[in-house]
């Protein structure tokens, strides 16, 4: 009898985590910017525990959010720039700053 109760508890636990409507539900998180809402949702998902019962819906939700974000970017024709700088870019910026400081007019 104990094994059956344990099995029932396990199945009940699993049913609580299989949320079929969560995959394509709204991702509004308080911002008027949809991309911000998507990133907030992804951040919230990162705090949730992944287990054998919710991993498929969890993965599908992340895929859905990523596709929504890519769709928003393509529709709005957003040209995202990289935050990474090469050594040449950094040297150029430093050289410009040094040049600005040395060229200032004296009064």
Q: What confidence tier does 93 reach under pLDDT thresholds 50, 70, 90?
A: confident
Q: Which residue has 């949320």 as its token pair?
A: 19
The model's pTM: 0.59
Instruction: Place 19 in a pLDDT band, splitting at 50, 70 and 90.
Output: low
Q: Is 2 helix (H, G, I), strand (E, B) or coil?
A: helix
**DSSP class of residue 27?**
-
Residue identified by tokens 């430093």 is 94
Are 35 and 72 in contact, with CB atoms under 8 Å apart? Answer: yes
DSSP string, 40-54: HHHHHHHTSPP-TTT
């Amino acid at each position: 009898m104990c094994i059956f109760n344990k099995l029932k508890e396990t199945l009940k636990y699993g049913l609580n985590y299989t949320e079929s409507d969560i995959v394509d539900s709204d991702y509004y998180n308080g911002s008027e910017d949809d991309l911000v809402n998507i990133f907030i949702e992804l951040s919230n998902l990162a705090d949730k525990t992944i287990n054998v019962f919710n991993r498929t819906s969890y993965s599908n939700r992340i895929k859905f959010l990523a596709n929504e974000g890519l769709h928003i970017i393509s529709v709005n024709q957003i040209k995202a720039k990289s935050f990474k700088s090469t050594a040449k870019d950094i040297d150029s910026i430093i050289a410009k700053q040094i040049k600005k400081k040395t060229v200032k007019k004296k009064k």
